[in-house]
Amino acid sequence: MYEGFFSLREAPFSITPDTDFFYPHEGAQAALNTLLVALRSGEGFLKIVGEVGCGKTLLCRQLLKTLQGECVTAYIPNPDMGPDDLLMALARELGLRVRQPHTRHNVLNALQASLLKHSQADKRVVVCIDEAQAIPVRTVESLRLLSNLETEKRKLLQLVLLGQPELDAKLARPEIRQLLQRITFSEYLGPMLANRVPMYLEHRLSRAALGEHTDTQVFEADAAAAIAGYSGGVPRMVNVLAHKCLMLAYGENVHRVTPAHVSLAAGDTPGVRAPRRIWPNWLRRLIPWQRAGHDSLGAADVRSGFGGGQ
């Protein structure tokens, strides 16, 4: 819709996880580094927990992209299935032919034979399970069985679980504590820091730019700060708000996104943080309460700041 207007080759703020737009803010880079170091060290079970919209799936895809050529990888996006179905899904992801009947015994034998073959070729096998909080408790036993596949020297299979905070609650249940004990590295993926949001916006515009002459300074500083406040730094919410802001600017035939655009976008977006009054930078400098770190002021405070109190 607005791509040509802003000299973009594609929409920069799609909520579809696309590794071309991966932005390594502190939390995302720390989680990725933890995973890479642990996997390359031969650890068997890893866990990433993050809030909704904080980029777990994008992190997972970036990890798989980074490991291309280095490991054999498999990705299970929806593990809400029975124990035997999960094993069969993994076998299919690894391209295995399992002889009939597809019993648990036959599937495990096929998996072990394949994993041994990869191990002999000095190839690690990494399986990422997204939305891991959806794994039924009865299916967790299948994960434990997979974790038992090993030689005397190394794990044959390395598992990465990525899920919402409910995953921690599930793993804490007494009946599956054995699996929790096998998780050697964990990392939390949270929202971006507020001061990273302007750079995030510019990064995505740069990645979507038609060429080096595309203007990526579309969001005014106060508008970017407003997006950070409304979104709480959650990347998905930042994307939703930024996309709506570009649509509004396009509709007005202007090439700059202002705080007014952000306010309109936030009012049309469920789930944003409670609106705060966004003061321009020049006004913040005049108001001593803002310099002291207060986020919002009433009309009486503004009058006082200008020396106009009653």
For 82, the 3-state DSSP assignment is coil
With beta carbons less than 8 A apart as the criterion, state whether 47 and 185 touch: yes
Residue 294 is predicted with a pLDDT of: 42
**Confidence check: pLDDT of 307 > 50:** no
Sorted by where each begins, the domain ranges of the chain are 26-189, 194-296
For 158, the 3-state DSSP assignment is strand
With beta carbons less than 8 A apart as the criterion, state whether 44 and 184 touch: yes
Residue 101 is predicted with a pLDDT of: 83
Residue 267 neighbours by CB distance under 10 Å: 11
The whole-number average pLDDT for the span 151-167 is 89
Q: List pLDDT tens digits, range 125-136.
A: 999 999 999 999
Helix (H) / strand (E) element for 109: namely helix 104-120
Q: List pLDDT tens digits, range 176-191.
A: 877 888 888 999 999 9
Residue 281 is predicted with a pLDDT of: 56
Residue 297 is predicted with a pLDDT of: 38
Confidence of residue 102 (pLDDT cuts 50, 70, 90): confident
The whole-number average pLDDT for the span 91-96 is 92
- Torsion over CA: 19, 24, 28, 30 (sign): positive
Residue 274 is predicted with a pLDDT of: 61
* Architecture of the CATH domain 26-189: 3-Layer(aba) Sandwich (3.40)
- % residues pLDDT > 70 (the chain): 88
Residue 155 is predicted with a pLDDT of: 86
Q: List pLDDT tens digits, range 240-290.
A: 999 999 999 999 999 999 999 999 999 989 888 765 554 455 445 554 444
The rounded distance, in Å, linking the Cα atoms of 257 and 40 is 44
The rounded distance, in Å, linking the Cα atoms of 164 and 48 is 9
101 versus 37: which is more confidently predicted? 37
**Confidence check: pLDDT of 35 > 70:** yes
Q: Across the chain, which distance is largest between two alpha carbons, in Å?
A: 86
Q: Cα–Cα distances in Å, from 192 out to 147, 195, 242, 254?
A: 33, 8, 15, 28
Beta bridge partner(s), residue 47: 161, 186
Range with the largest mean pLDDT of 37-46, 210-219, 231-240? 231-240
Instruction: Write the CB contacts of 164 (distance below 8 Å, at least 6 apart in sequence).
Output: 49, 50, 51, 52, 131, 133
Residue 285 is predicted with a pLDDT of: 53
The whole-number average pLDDT for the span 5-24 is 96
What residue has token string 């992801």? 93
The rounded distance, in Å, linking the Cα atoms of 58 and 275 is 28
**Confidence check: pLDDT of 296 > 50:** no
Beta bridge partner(s), residue 125: 72
**Confidence check: pLDDT of 291 > 60:** no
Class of domain 194-296: mainly alpha
The whole-number average pLDDT for the span 63-85 is 94
DSSP strands (E only) in the chain = 45-50, 71-76, 124-129, 158-163, 183-189
Confidence of residue 299 (pLDDT cuts 50, 70, 90): very low
State phi, psi for 84 to the nearest 5 degrees: -70, -35
**Weakest-pLDDT range from 75-79, 106-110, 194-198:** 106-110
